[in-house]
Structure 1
Amino acid sequence: MLDARPLDWGGSINAVNLQSDLTTPLDSTYVFYLGSFGPFDPTSENVDEWAEHWTTVDAVSYNPSYGVFNARHDVTSSDPTGEQGYIWGVRRTRQNMEWILISDPNWTWPADGALEQKVNWMVSSATETIVGYINGSGYQMVTSPVNDNTPIPVISYDLWVKRFFPDGDVNADPEADPNGNNLDNLAEFALDANPVQSNTGDRFSPSVYHSPSESGLPEIEQGNYLGVIVQPSLDADVQVLGWLSPDITFSENVSAAVIETLSDGSLLIRDPVAFGPTNARKFIRIEFREPS
Structure 2
Amino acid sequence: MRVSRYWTCFLTGLSLVATADAAQSIDWYSPSQRTNLTSSGAAMDGNFQFQLGVFSTGFVPTTANMVDWAANWIPADSSTYNPAVNARSFGSFHTLTGNVAPFTVGAKAYVWGRGAGSANDEWILFRATSWTWPAASLTGPSPFPLDWSAATANEVILGTVNASGSPSLMQSVAVVTYQNWRNTVLAGQPLNGPTDDPDKDGVPNILEYLFNTSPVIAGAPTATPVAMVDVSGQKYLEITIPRLRERLVSLTVEVSSDLVTWQSGASATTVVSNTSTQLVVRDQTAISAATPKRFMRLKAVLRP
With normalisation by structure 1, the TM-score equals 0.49
TM-score (norm 2): 0.47
